[in-house]
Structure 1
Amino acid sequence: MVHGIRIALFLWAGSCAIAPAAGQDSGDTGNPVYDQRFFDRTQPSNAYEMVALLPAFTIAEGMADVRGYSGVAGNVLIDGQRPAGKTDTLEAILKRLPASRVARIELIRAGTAGYDMQGHALLANVILVKTGTIGGRIEAEQALYRHGLRAPRVSAQATFDGRGRVIDLFATVYREIDDEHGFGVRNRFASDGTPLRLVDYAQPEGADVAQATLAYRQPLFGGTLRLNGLVQDKRKFADIAHAVIFPAPDAIVGSERKHARTYEGGLRYDRALGPADDLELVGSYRSVTTVGIDRESTAWEYSVSDERSNASEAILRAALRHHRGGATIEIGAEGAVNSLDVRNALVEDGEPVPLPQANVRVAERRAELFVTASRPFGARTMAEFGVRYEISRLSQTGDIDLVKSFAFWKPRARLVWAPAPNRTIRLLAERAVGQLDFGDFVGAASLTSGTISAGNADLEPDSLWRVELSYERRFGAGSFTLAARREWISDLVDQLPVVVDGVLYDAVGNIGAARRDTVEASLKWPLDGFGARGVVVTADFVARRGRATDPATGERRPISGDLPVEARVALAHDIPAWRLRWGGSYAFARTETAFKVEEIEADHLAGRLDLFVEYRPDARWTLRLFGKNLTDSAATRTRDIYAGIRGDGALRYRELRVLRSGRYVGLTVQRSFGG
């Protein structure tokens, strides 16, 4: 009965609010456009919060770890273009843009002429105000954690806008604390539950980051040239302490340090070649140098793990789009040169320990040709077809010499049907091919977990066929979306046993065919119609069920790393008369499991509550007080360690690690200046 009442209320709210919300219009293409009036009732402070309010839209970050641009870009544009860099996330870029700099946001649907959708059904195009002045923002933040940890942040952003030339400068220095680590226990138990080792354990983790970015834009030869650069210095740290209580008092101390320096530069040039043709050129270069040193010592032992790597990526992409009468065709090509040079070492008590494939250089040359076409069929239906052809040559030198070549066809077809102005149904069928992680070719040691993994030179990319059906319902400023997806996977990349010089190791490898089913739902529900003006409820839910054949046991099991359930609900209440905004979110518990050769590792993160209050004394100042992990939720890792390959060996012990970072609170102060 109660469930039926909830459904009725939801349907009533949707049916009584179908009219466009204030500040929502339809552009020349028929796509919805949201101007400042749409956001006045919610007082967002930056572009990220504005995009998050768009009905039926969810931000999808680009996959920075995937090499190249094609098919991996995010779904947010700024002034019609994607950021040329890959290090900065969309969230970070959008949060740097004050809401006052946003003139409007266009929601672009698949098939819209002149846009490269990169496989997304929707794009959000953030159009900035052309002020012709100097403006910016200064921000200071401090977060206080239990056990005396602190996370300060200082940022400054400035924009110089004049005569068609725009310069954006940004710099920040901050410390981030990993709130999934902290202080607790790390105990071991026999298969019958008898304690084998009881330990008070500490593993606080974080990183100190300094970053500066530069973006420049100007007209050139009838088009627009965009340049960007980034320098980032990131120093991760973890201080580890075991205070052994049972079976005998003992102390083990350790540390993890990783220093990464990133340099990135890119350019993007786009130009109209006529009323129906557009040209886009993109080029970028990125290099990352990493040094990681892990140490662990007891009264009688001392171990050091040393990992050093140099990675680089150079990309050049060109695309030509022709659009006429609602139809669009795009053709293009992309080339990339990637490399990774790794040198890993492990020393125990002054003696080097051999690691399998620890010194490896991997180089890749890759090219991709693509063509995409879309056209409307009547007023309510649109079809999109595309195909990409990828060829690559991968070489490994060092501890192993190997050359491989790959070639893949990647077709995609999407059908969009709008049976009513506020409803959309989409059907997608495509083939996708994964990319190999170069780090999986290299052997490495982890002192924290006490494991050594082998590199796998024979690793090949997995591929899949995907079919997805989605439904979108919009009601005023709110929306409900539902999607169901099935994937048939070939050559799944997971964990498998590898024998090197007669020794068994865990490695990443191809374990055969698999299948994954996914259901996603998202709700954005303004409660103005119920008398709760300014209150917006959002909820997101994802359920996955993957099945693969375990190479260690021969039995069917979930896919390593898949989260069976992810769920989050949030509420925000804006009170413009008081210049106040408050709200919170609750992330439900989730568990991630990895099936390794001699162990099963499950990471469980309990549900977490976050709250915030934001006050604006005037148009330039913003004060935000926040509290996170207010439930003091634990991060629990369970490791079942077997004597040999799982399925053949008995359970040696179960290790239970429970860590808490504790509740933490913080204050953010922002001051904007200029136009």
Structure 2
Amino acid sequence: MTVFQRKVATVLAGTFCMLGSALAQAQDTNGTNISATVSEGKRQFRADYFEAYAPVTALDMIRRIPGFTIADGEGRRGFGENAGNVLIDGDRPSSKSDDIFTILSRIPASEVDYIELTEQAGADAETQGQGQIVNVVRKVSSKLTGTYEGNLVFGHRYGFRPSVNGSATLRRGETTYEFNITSYSERVFGFGPEDFKSGTGNLIERRFYRGTGGYDGAGIGGAIKTRIGGAKVNLNGRVRLDDSFDHRNGVYSDTSGLFSGEELLLRNGPKSDINYEFGGDIEFKISPKLTTKAIGLYRAATESNDSSIEAARVGQPVNRFETRSRNKPIEIVGRIQNDWSALSGHAIQFGGEIAYNQLDARFSAASSVAGAVTVFPASNVLVEETRIEPFLTDVWTVTPKWKIEAGAIFEFSKLTLSGDSSASRRFQFLKPKVIATWTVDPSTTVEFRADRQVAQLDFGEFATSVDVALGNQVDAGNADLVPEKVITLAAQIRHKFLERGSVQFRGEYQTVSDTQDLVPVTLRDAAGNITAQFDGAGNIGNSKRWNGELEITLPLDWLTKNIGFGGMEVKYTGHYHDSRVTDPVTGLKRRMSNRPLWHQEWSLRHDIAKSGFVYGVTAYVQAQNNAYFFNEYRRQKEGVRTNVFVEYSKFKFGTLRVQYTSIPDFGRDRFIYTGTRATGPITQIVNRRRYLDPLFQVTLSGKF
């Protein structure tokens, strides 16, 4: 057993010893005063359950539900496949740009009537494919309600950055009007050395960098929900502006410490990016046992990135490299789903989805030395995809304790590239799924899952880009990229205890075809001669993955009430991700790129009864991250991210929160080969270290 395995075994053994003690105590303390209604596979949480946490928004409430984690679709293809596990008044939001976290943060906690947790397959037609969902049911009220939040983020080297968020909801009869505004701003200051060494480790040059990065943005949105006749109608829209930047100065010195040059990096510029989305749905009954819902969505954006890096060495001419990119993505989705309940014990859903996605990517680069300018060939690509997906699903209630959801999606799609890259491909995918849940008792659920998924393509990977912050690293567009396919077998067990405690474990095994990773992309001239070779996203054949997740929420009242205080809770979340794939350069087995072996999060929270005070601390750590380029091996290790906060909820104007965030330092080591990793020796080693200033944040939030 390795040192790491012994540490893991010790942590798990200690954890389960604590759980065993807690469960023993639960026999005496888990009484009838629980503020939640429990039935077969369902649990209903009302306002008194959350009083100890003094929530401001519905998001605060959901985060306190034991054993539940918000899911947002995992980046799968299609609108239907990206259904999360949260409903608002029984409906899935018909939006993709506004994530569910943002939507929940706009709902005042005072306007939530109750939250219902369902842990059964096919729990709701709106979120099929999920074995666990929550439904946030709001009160019926005619008064104006809303939330507000003001943030001040600051640090001693990058000043003060304010942001504000607000939302308002008004109900008039059958119609609800929602309006929201948001702004955000953040800065990060970092510094540290970057050492350039020979292949044998001898120092050649040291560069010391200081830089500030950040982003700013603002948005406005709204929604109307009403009834027309017997139909429910929802309309929503949003417009957002974004801007970000990165400024970095570097000073070069030789092996003796003498000044040898300097560097200036400027990334992005004053140009603001805009993105917007408009969507809606209408739901109506064709017959008492047949309900139809039609969904429409349109979104578009402009995404800009300008960068330049200028280096001036003693006795040499100034060297300047510039890049410019302008991307315009568009997405149009239409979906119709029908829910039929004519067969006893079965809930059948069928329908279809059609989608059109487009990316107009334009990239250019130029290099200048002593006034002479070299312009690189343009890299302009238009990517278009049209996708049609009929689907059929059946949720079978075998017994009150057993439910099975089985179905399939049939995808027919066409992908075309034009411009500097030309390609046209047609895809046909069958995506079946089976989910079964067994409600062992009101506190314990077991879930089994088998499915085949097709990953969403990132259209930006068909276009070329350059990262000037990494030594002008080229990410070459790959016209041959196809989506990877994943078959998953998974099992999960969830158990509730001590009123507010939970433990759950999930294990899964995946087989992957057309695995996406880094591949060599070769450029040739008209005669077939190699002119350049870069790295880019590509497919490297079949692979296997193993994933495990353990989550424990442990209230400590059973231990601390005996010494005079309560309201303390600890939580642990651990993820393990291993994989095996054949390296396209060396032919050897390895883990996938950019997939850390494990990550963990530990947190402690103490709600001091009746005082209004809450304090807590969270620590996050992960294993090193590896990446495999054709002529380079890279590893990156981050430190521990910590978050400490104190909150007081009895101010007249809301809840005041003071927070300190320690942004983890990180180190990156690059091992660069002559030729490829398979044939050449290491000729250069680059060791980079970055130390980042912490962030302080003061937040005042409230509801009306």
Give the TM-score band, short-chain normalised.
over 0.9
Q: Distance in 2 between matches of 1:21 and 1:646?
A: 64
Counterpart among 5, 12, 23 of residue 35 in structure 2:
23
Residue 583 of structure 1: how far off its partner (Å): 1.2
CA 386–660 in structure 1, closer or farther in 2 if over 3 Å, else same = same
Q: Is the 8 A contact 1:590 1:606 kept in 2?
A: no
Counterpart among 539, 550, 556 of residue 589 in structure 2:
556
Q: Is the 8 A contact 2:307 2:468 kept in 1?
A: yes
Q: Distance in 1 between matches of 2:33 and 2:373?
A: 70
Q: 2:538 matched to which residue of 1?
A: 509
Q: 1:174 matched to which residue of 2?
A: 184
Structure 2 unaligned regions, length at least 5: 1-9, 313-317, 525-529
Greater Cα shift, 161-170 or 226-235: 161-170
Q: Distance in 2 between matches of 1:277 and 1:13?
A: 49
Residue 483 of structure 1: how far off its partner (Å): 0.7
Q: Distance in 1 between matches of 2:374 and 2:333?
A: 39
Counterpart among 503, 512, 517 of residue 480 in structure 1:
503
Structure 1 unaligned regions, length at least 5: none
Q: 2:558 matched to which residue of 1?
A: 529
Residue 161 of structure 2 is aligned to residue 151 of structure 1: yes
Residue 453 of structure 1: how far off its partner (Å): 2.5
Q: Distance in 2 between matches of 1:498 and 1:518?
A: 30
Residue 19 of structure 1: how far off its partner (Å): 5.4
- Of all paired residues, the percent bearing the same amino acid is 27
Counterpart among 108, 123, 129 of residue 98 in structure 1:
108
In the TM superposition, 1:633-672 aligns within 5 A as 633-672=664-703
In the TM superposition, 1:363-382 aligns within 5 A as 363-382=384-403
Q: Is the 8 A contact 2:122 2:129 kept in 1?
A: no
CA 26–271 in structure 1, closer or farther in 2 if over 3 Å, else same = farther
Q: Is the 8 A contact 1:114 1:278 kept in 2?
A: no
Residue 657 of structure 1: how far off its partner (Å): 1.9
Residue 265 of structure 1: how far off its partner (Å): 0.5
Counterpart among 228, 247, 266 of residue 279 in structure 2:
266
Greater Cα shift, 568-577 or 340-349: 568-577
Q: Distance in 1 between matches of 2:675 and 2:534?
A: 10
CA 375–15 in structure 1, closer or farther in 2 if over 3 Å, else same = farther
Q: 1:8 matched to which residue of 2?
A: 20
In the TM superposition, 1:304-319 aligns within 5 A as 304-319=322-337
Counterpart among 484, 498, 502 of residue 462 in structure 1:
484
Q: 2:3 matched to which residue of 1?
A: none
Q: Distance in 2 between matches of 1:35 and 1:671?
A: 20
Q: Distance in 2 between matches of 1:38 and 1:327?
A: 34
Q: 2:661 matched to which residue of 1?
A: 628
Residue 619 of structure 1: how far off its partner (Å): 6.4
- Residue identity opposite 2:283 in structure 1: D
Residue 430 of structure 2 is aligned to residue 409 of structure 1: yes
Cα deviation 1:537-561 (Å, max 9, x = unaligned): 2211100111111111111111112
- Residue identity opposite 1:669 in structure 2: L
CA 38–671 in structure 1, closer or farther in 2 if over 3 Å, else same = closer
Q: Is the 8 A contact 2:211 2:249 kept in 1?
A: yes
Q: Distance in 2 between matches of 1:400 and 1:321?
A: 43
- Residue identity opposite 1:338 in structure 2: N
CA 176–569 in structure 1, closer or farther in 2 if over 3 Å, else same = same
Q: 1:188 matched to which residue of 2?
A: 196
Q: Is the 8 A contact 2:384 2:416 kept in 1?
A: yes
Q: Is the 8 A contact 2:566 2:609 kept in 1?
A: no
Counterpart among 45, 58, 79 of residue 69 in structure 2:
58
Counterpart among 211, 226, 229 of residue 234 in structure 2:
226
Greater Cα shift, 638-647 or 481-490: 638-647
Q: Is the 8 A contact 1:111 1:376 kept in 2?
A: no
Counterpart among 237, 240, 245 of residue 253 in structure 2:
245
CA 386–351 in structure 1, closer or farther in 2 if over 3 Å, else same = same
Residue 14 of structure 1: how far off its partner (Å): 4.9
Q: Is the 8 A contact 2:632 2:673 kept in 1?
A: yes
CA 30–519 in structure 1, closer or farther in 2 if over 3 Å, else same = closer
- Residue identity opposite 1:391 in structure 2: F
Structure 1 residue matching 2:102: 3-state secondary structure: helix
Residue 284 of structure 1: how far off its partner (Å): 0.5
In the TM superposition, 1:180-219 aligns within 5 A as 182-219=190-227
Structure 1 residue matching 2:268: 3-state secondary structure: strand
Q: 2:632 matched to which residue of 1?
A: 599
Q: Is the 8 A contact 1:523 1:539 kept in 2?
A: yes
Residue 294 of structure 2 is aligned to residue 281 of structure 1: yes
CA 277–23 in structure 1, closer or farther in 2 if over 3 Å, else same = farther
Counterpart among 129, 135, 139 of residue 125 in structure 1:
135
Cα deviation 1:437-496 (Å, max 9, x = unaligned): 111111222221121222111111111211001111111221100011000001101111
Residue 608 of structure 1: how far off its partner (Å): 1.8
CA 254–127 in structure 1, closer or farther in 2 if over 3 Å, else same = same
Residue 456 of structure 2 is aligned to residue 435 of structure 1: yes
Residue 610 of structure 2 is aligned to residue 588 of structure 1: no
Q: Is the 8 A contact 2:41 2:118 kept in 1?
A: no
Q: 1:337 matched to which residue of 2?
A: 356
Residue 601 of structure 1: how far off its partner (Å): 2.4
The aligned length equals 666
CA 19–599 in structure 1, closer or farther in 2 if over 3 Å, else same = farther
Return the TM-score normalized by structure 2. Answer: 0.91
Q: 2:445 matched to which residue of 1?
A: 424
Structure 2 residue matching 1:577: 3-state secondary structure: coil
Residue 271 of structure 2 is aligned to residue 256 of structure 1: no
CA 62–598 in structure 1, closer or farther in 2 if over 3 Å, else same = same
Residue 235 of structure 1: how far off its partner (Å): 0.4
Structure 2 residue matching 1:578: 3-state secondary structure: coil
Counterpart among 302, 306, 327 of residue 293 in structure 1:
306
- Residue identity opposite 1:39 in structure 2: F
Q: Distance in 2 between matches of 1:276 and 1:533?
A: 50
CA 379–142 in structure 1, closer or farther in 2 if over 3 Å, else same = same
Structure 2 residue matching 1:393: 3-state secondary structure: strand
Q: Distance in 2 between matches of 1:399 and 1:663?
A: 44
What is the RMSD of the two structures over their aligned residues, measured on CA atoms? 2.1
Greater Cα shift, 476-485 or 36-45: 36-45
Q: 1:571 matched to which residue of 2?
A: 604
Q: Is the 8 A contact 2:41 2:120 kept in 1?
A: no
Residue 664 of structure 1: how far off its partner (Å): 2.2
Residue 130 of structure 1: how far off its partner (Å): 2.0
CA 14–177 in structure 1, closer or farther in 2 if over 3 Å, else same = farther
Q: Is the 8 A contact 1:35 1:105 kept in 2?
A: yes
Q: Is the 8 A contact 1:114 1:322 kept in 2?
A: no
Q: Is the 8 A contact 1:228 1:267 kept in 2?
A: yes
Structure 2 residue matching 1:448: 3-state secondary structure: helix
Q: 1:70 matched to which residue of 2?
A: 80
